[in-house]
């Protein structure tokens, strides 16, 4: 997906034109993603027969277009919850229409997406890409309400056809629930103070646009913190967006299904833009890369060895050159793993 920086939607970004004639942002860490996923798609210069790539966060299709062009035998299953993104991606990927299946779904719908593509839910996929967070398109469309630098309706739904909005949360949640959201998903130190001020102000006038919320945050967060902690709205907007879209719950549900869908030799790449996402990824991978053979036994029990091997040491970050070329890659954290064995049922 063509992604924007999680923490600074005002950062400049290189642009180009997609095949639909729309301005687009450069896909983040595109060549590094290819380095990591490519060995599962091509061996000794020959494309793997029946190779399937899942792009779980299709967006405008920047990553997918690259892989479809680079691997002529590749089949793509692309998911996105945003109908507008799917429409634009479909236009961009039209030259490959006989090799793609695009599905309107959150990324925890991988099993259903594979079914729509006529593929089994386990061991049918060669490569998977998760490029998490909010997309450039969503930030750049003012009426979506993701960007705190633009006064817009407080929506923040990645799929604007369903679910509650950020305004709904601000106007209906009790103090405890609102403070929990801000602290858990935004790691906001002043969550309680902000929640109290939201409840006070909404009695006078319900929240409808981002400007009113930004004004509240400038008033509620101490000046000393505002001078050193980045934009005062950054953490609250992140928290509301994660809550509106159920992002972490969806990610926690998606990862096991994604890992199970990989063939032996299949690879998966995750690109996260904030610590909460990266933590979910790290914790989900951890039990899959260790042995379940009881300690002290002299040999590995059949089917009890590690199922995956990590391909990155910790979370990789963008290089200085990448950040210079694409500033929106600055906060990315990349993790990757390869399926090395089947594992017996627990």
Domain boundaries, the chain: 15-137+247-339, 163-245
Confidence at 140, pLDDT banded by 50, 70, 90: low
Distance CA 265, CA 307 (A): 11
**Other CB atoms within 10 Å distance of the CB of residue 35:** 13
Average pLDDT over residues 272-277: 93
Q: What is the pLDDT of residue 143?
A: 64
Q: What is the pLDDT of residue 10?
A: 31
Examine the pLDDT at 150 and tell me if it is beyond 90. Answer: no
17-70 pLDDT, tens digit each: 343 434 445 788 999 999 999 999 999 999 999 999 999 999 999 999 999 999
Residue 63 marked ligand-binding: yes
169-194 pLDDT, tens digit each: 999 999 999 999 999 999 999 999 99
**Looking at the whole model, is its pTM more than 0.85?**
yes
59-75 pLDDT, tens digit each: 999 999 999 999 999 99
Number of H helices, E strands in the chain: 14, 11
Q: pLDDT higher for 232 or 335?
A: 335
| Average pLDDT, rounded, for the chain | 88
Residue 80 marked ligand-binding: yes
Confidence at 294, pLDDT banded by 50, 70, 90: confident
Residue 35 marked ligand-binding: no
Q: What is the pLDDT of residue 300?
A: 82
Examine the pLDDT at 316 and tell me if it is beyond 80. Answer: yes
Distance CA 149, CA 158 (A): 18
Q: What is the pLDDT of residue 146?
A: 75
Q: What is the pLDDT of residue 9?
A: 38
Q: What is the pLDDT of residue 25?
A: 58
β-strands 42-43, 46-47 pairing: antiparallel
Integer-rounded Cα Rg, in Å, for the chain is 21
32 and 160 Cβ atoms separated by less than 8 Å: no
- Per cent of the chain over pLDDT 90 is 71
- Architecture category of domain 15-137+247-339 in CATH: 3-Layer(aba) Sandwich (3.40)
Q: What is the pLDDT of residue 135?
A: 64
Average pLDDT over residues 273-284: 95
Residue 109 marked ligand-binding: no
Confidence at 225, pLDDT banded by 50, 70, 90: confident
Average pLDDT over residues 241-264: 96
Examine the pLDDT at 6 and tell me if it is beyond 60. Answer: no
**Other CB atoms within 10 Å distance of the CB of residue 141:** 16
CA atoms within 13 A on the CB side of 192: 0
First-to-last C-alpha distance (Å) of the chain: 35
Instruction: Give the full edge-to-edge strand order of the sheet including 75-80.
Output: 100-104, 75-80, 52-55, 125-131, 262-272, 333-339, 308-310
Residue 61 marked ligand-binding: yes
Average pLDDT over residues 139-162: 80
What's the CATH code, domain 163-245?
Answer: 1.10.150.170
Confidence at 5, pLDDT banded by 50, 70, 90: very low
Same fold, 15-137+247-339 and 163-245: no
Residue of 108, 55, 112, 111 lying closest to 79 (CA atoms): 55
Q: What is the pLDDT of residue 145?
A: 66
Q: What is the pLDDT of residue 136?
A: 63
Examine the pLDDT at 327 and tell me if it is beyond 90. Answer: no
């Amino acid at each position: 997906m063509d992604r924007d920086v999680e923490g600074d939607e005002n950062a400049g970004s290189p642009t180009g034109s997609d095949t639909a004639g729309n301005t687009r942002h450069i896909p983040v860490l595109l060549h590094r993603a290819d380095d990591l996923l490519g060995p599962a798609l091509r061996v000794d210069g020959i494309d793997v027969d029946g190779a399937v790539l899942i792009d779980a966060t299709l967006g405008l299709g920047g990553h997918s277009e690259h892989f479809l062009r680079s691997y002529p035998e590749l089949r793509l299953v692309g998911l996105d919850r945003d109908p507008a993104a799917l429409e634009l991606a479909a236009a961009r990927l039209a030259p490959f229409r006989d090799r793609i299946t695009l599905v309107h779904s959150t990324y925890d719908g991988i099993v259903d997406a594979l079914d729509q593509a006529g593929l089994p839910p386990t061991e049918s996929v060669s490569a998977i890409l998760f490029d998490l967070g909010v997309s450039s398109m969503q930030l750049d469309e003012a009426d979506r309400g993701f960007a705190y630098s633009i006064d817009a309706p407080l929506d923040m739904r990645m799929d604007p056809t369903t679910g509650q909005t950020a305004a709904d949360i601000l106007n209906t949640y009790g103090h405890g629930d609102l403070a929990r959201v801000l602290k858990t998903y935004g790691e906001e130190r002043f969550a309680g103070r902000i929640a109290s001020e939201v409840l006070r102000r909404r009695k006078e006038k319900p929240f409808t646009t981002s400007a009113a919320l930004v004004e509240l945050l400038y008033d509620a967060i101490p000046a000393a913190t505002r001078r050193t902690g980045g934009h005062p709205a950054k953490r609250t907007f992140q928290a509301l967006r994660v809550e509106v879209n159920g992002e972490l719950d969806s990610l926690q549900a998606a990862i096991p299904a994604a890992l199970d869908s990989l063939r032996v030799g299949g690879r998966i790449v995750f690109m996260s833009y904030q610590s909460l996402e990266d933590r979910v990824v790290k914790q989900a991978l951890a039990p899959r890369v260790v042995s379940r053979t009881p300690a002290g036994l002299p040999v590995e029990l059949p089917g009890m060895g590690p199922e995956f091997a990590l391909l990155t040491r910790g979370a990789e970050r963008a290089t200085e050159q990448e950040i210079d070329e694409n500033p929106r890659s600055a906060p990315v954290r990349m993790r990757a793993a390869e399926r090395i064995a089947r594992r017996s049922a627990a």
